[in-house]
Structures are given as structure tokens and as C-alpha cells.
Amino acid sequence: MAGVKKLDHLGIAVKDLDEARTFWERALGIPCTHVEELPERGIRVAFLPIGDVRIELIAPMREGSEVSKFLETRGPGIHHVCFEAPAGQATVDALKACGTRMIDEKLKPGAHGAQVAFIHPKSTGGVLVEVAQLPGPGTHP
């Protein structure tokens, strides 16, 4: 199986990106190193590295975005766990081959030039899991 390498980030859904950043930066002292808009997915993200892992704050840019429904039904909070998957599409294909239910059967663009796919929570015990093929070393701010 083409597997995962390491935990990359924890995604946290927030209603207001700037307000959420204020807490993480001022109260906890974790500086934001990168903010990016992904208009095709309707989200704005901010990354805050801590150790070898990052916190990804995710806010909707519009109604109907990937995170809007989550916020409406569950409110702000942990949205997903992301693992680095260097083999990318081969990992997705291997997951499908072993019966894992996928939200994305093909990789799609993510932040920092990564290619990502999500595993359906029904296959993971209720956790939304993202696998990400990163574009290369040193690509995360």
C-alpha cells in the first residue's frame, strides 16, 4: 500500500479567519506564516506551524463553500486531520482498492501547491481525513 508519511496539519473550521488568528497568535504565541485564498473551493486558510505540525484555520469565503455546511451544522472546531502522502494518487487508488470510501477519488488542488483528497468519515470512525501530496521539500512556510 502506498501509505502516509507523517501528520501534516490539523484543520480547524472558523467563521472569521482574522478573529481566529488573533487568538492563536496573541493568546498562544503561535505566529501565522501563510494566508491563502482558494476561490475555486470557496475557502480562505491560514497556517500556524508548531513543531513539526501546523494548525490550518479554514474560513468560508462564500455560502456553499466546503466549510460552510460544516460550520452551519457543527459550528467552529476541528474539521479534519491531514497526513502527508508522498505517493499522492497511488495512495488514493490503494485506499479505494481496499474498500475505503473516498470523498475525492482524484487529487485536487490544495494550499501551498499541494494535491489533496479527502477520505469519507464513514471509513475512519467519524474523522474527516485528508491525504496530501506536497509539491516538494521546503514548500511550507
Residue-by-residue pLDDT tens, the chain, 141 positions: 668 999 999 999 999 999 999 999 999 999 999 999 999 999 999 999 999 999 999 999 999 998 999 999 999 999 999 999 999 999 999 999 999 999 999 999 999 899 999 999 999 999 999 999 998 765 555
| 140 in a structural domain | no
| 141 in a structural domain | no
pTM above 0.85, yes or no: yes
pLDDT at 3: 85
**The total number of structural domains that make up the chain:** 1
The DSSP string of 55-83 is EEEEEESSTTSTTHHHHHHH-SEEEEEEE
CATH of the domain at 32: 3.10.180.10
| 116 in a structural domain | yes
pLDDT at 137: 60
Nearest to 46 by CA among 60, 63, 59, 28: 59
Tell me the backbone φ, ψ of residue 56, rounded to 5 degrees.
-115, 115
| 1 in a structural domain | no
| 139 in a structural domain | no
| 49 in a structural domain | yes
Domain housing 34: 6-133
Tell me the backbone φ, ψ of residue 23, rounded to 5 degrees.
-60, -55
| 59 in a structural domain | yes
| 63 in a structural domain | yes
pLDDT at 138: 52
